[in-house]
Amino acid sequence: MQKLSLSQSLQQKLSPQQIQFIKLLQIPTVELDNRIEEELEINPALEEGMDDEPEQKDDDFDDDFDDEYKDRSDDIDIDTYLQNEDYAGYKMQGDGNYPEEERDMPLATGSSLTDSLMQQFGYLALSEQQRIIGLQLIGSIEADGYIRRSMQAIVNDLAFSQNVFTDAEEIEEVLHKIQTFDPRGIAARTLQECLLLQLRRKDSNEPYNVLAIRIIEEFFEEFSKKHYDKIQRRLNISDDSLKRVIDIIIRLNPKPGSVEGETGNIQYLTADFILTNNGGKLELTLNSKNAPELRISRSFADMLDTYDKSSKQNKNLRETVSFVKQKLDAAKWFIDAIKQRQQTLLRTMNAIVRFQYDFFLTGDESKLRPMILKDIATLIDMDVSTVSRVANSKAIQTEFGIYPLKYFFSEGIATDSGEDVSSREVKNILRDLIDNEPKLQPLSDDKLEKVLNDRGYNIARRTVAKYREQLNIPVARLRKEL
């Protein structure tokens, strides 16, 4: 027998307006223009320009349509929304060293690596089949100049996609021709092959070039691990000869695809905030692009007045005005979201400036205080995720340069005096220690830990290793120079 029962549940909903605000808050200023243009295109009730007349509300219209419109509310369950939401910014840890989201910026066009290779390829005397193979090989060259697909995989590609049947030997033959192109080292399959391609195009009468080729051919593993003493013993060469050969090798280009004007993922940092020092008083303003002039279309508002004076029994007219009502509400929501975005950005950035006031006043990195997202969220009485969205992909222009907001978030390190210092300060000291270390005997992480402890920073060896890796500095063995 079936039983009826009642149960209570508590659910959190996000309205479309809240979702719109969340998305607008996260995007940087450079993308805001595109987002506004997109909204202007899809919503005819939204216009650019100042709103000259105060907004008037049609009470009769609202009485007739509010219930109908609210019944069609499309509030979204927060769990459903968050499943598709990007929380990269919120996952930012205290030191803010997570990679920034990659955003391709419009750049001036120029001659690409592929264009250069195709131009050189045109000068080769090849059969029709070799030409098809060559085009396939050039198409397989990655941005850094390497071909990482195996020859057998390319054989299969040609057979299935172009009905060209060949073998690895014929592909190798065409590949060797492409490897003679500029830039030197192009179309290599490994770093070792890339270096050899460049060395073999140097003067073969120079004994140090010949020795360099032998080292890369026979002792590449020892060379990559900087076991120079083993190489020196095996080849029985002097310290001076080894140093000159190593100097030749390290001047080679390990990524030949980065030349020929290739721009890659160049990023331009646009300031969302502008901070000025006016006689010792810091003044914060928003980039003017954050404050667009938007208004509600008067022609759409007039449609509501027309409806109010007409017969409300006309079904087609009611459907038309229902559409107008939706567009007007969407336009109001968008304008309100833009205004709320401006207020939240300023409120959050003002808190960051107050927290890091000494740095913004002097530009001295040693003045940076340890600061995490929760510190700012507590100051402005907002959620941590909101602060994260403001900090994500935003930047501030100061008298000392443009800084991404993530730069100011860092964890704290305790000192012997009981104070907390920013991890960024420790990283700067760590970088200085490594820059000034003896190149023949670089400092190990254990020695770096001891030096930092002697200076009063209570830091463990594993933390030294973590900071060194965040600074993209290799281990001591790989920093050794002759």
Residues 206, 211, 215: CA angle, nearest 5 degrees: 150
Together in a domain, 399 and 304? yes
Which of 372 and 288 is assigned the larger pLDDT?
372
CA distance 57 to 61: 9
418 pLDDT band, cuts 50/70/90, is low
Residues 6+ apart with CB under 8 A from 177: 124, 126, 134
Report pLDDT for 115. 86
Looking at 210, 240, 258, the residue that finishes a domain is 258
475 pLDDT band, cuts 50/70/90, is confident
Residues 6+ apart with CB under 8 A from 414: 420, 458
What average pLDDT is seen over the chain? Answer: 78
CA dist 220 → 184, 224, 367, 464 (Å):
19, 6, 46, 30
Which of 107 and 389 is assigned the larger pLDDT?
389
Together in a domain, 401 and 274? yes
57 pLDDT band, cuts 50/70/90, is very low
Together in a domain, 291 and 388? yes
Q: What is the mean pLDDT of residues 100-107?
A: 42
Q: What is the mean pLDDT of residues 29-49?
A: 83
The answer on pLDDT for 329 being more than 80 is yes
Report pLDDT for 83. 46
CA dist 49 → 17, 21, 337, 455, 464 (Å):
22, 21, 17, 59, 55
Together in a domain, 406 and 417? no
Q: Which amino acid is at 95?
A: D
Burial class (CB in 10 A: 0-12, 13-18, 19+), 104: exposed
Residues 103 and 392: beta-carbon distance below 8 Å? no
DSSP-derived 3-state class of residue 260: coil
- Give the tens place of pLDDT for each residue, 193-215: 999 999 998 888 889 999 999 99
Please check whether residue 5 lies inside any domain of the structure. no
- Give the tens place of pLDDT for each residue, 337-373: 888 888 899 999 999 999 999 889 888 877 888 888 8
Q: What is the mean pLDDT of residues 85-96?
A: 41
Looking at 258, 284, 317, the residue that finishes a domain is 258
Report pLDDT for 412. 64
Q: What is the mean pLDDT of residues 158-164?
A: 88
Together in a domain, 81 and 196? no
Together in a domain, 419 and 447? yes
CA distance 406 to 273: 14
CA distance 170 to 176: 10
Report pLDDT for 19. 72
Please check whether residue 108 lies inside any domain of the structure. no
CA distance 443 to 434: 7
- Express as a percent the part of the chain with pLDDT over 90: 19
Q: What is the mean pLDDT of residues 14-27?
A: 73
Extract the tokens encoding 68: 């109908």
User: Which residue's structure tokens are 């830990």?
Assistant: 449
* CATH assignment of the domain containing 463: 1.10.10.60
Mean pLDDT highest for which of 39-53, 292-306, 340-354? Answer: 340-354
The answer on pLDDT for 420 being more than 70 is no
The answer on pLDDT for 478 being more than 90 is no
Together in a domain, 144 and 243? yes
CA distance 87 to 94: 15
Together in a domain, 60 and 72? yes
CA distance 261 to 162: 31
Residue-range definition of the domain harbouring residue 473: 413-482
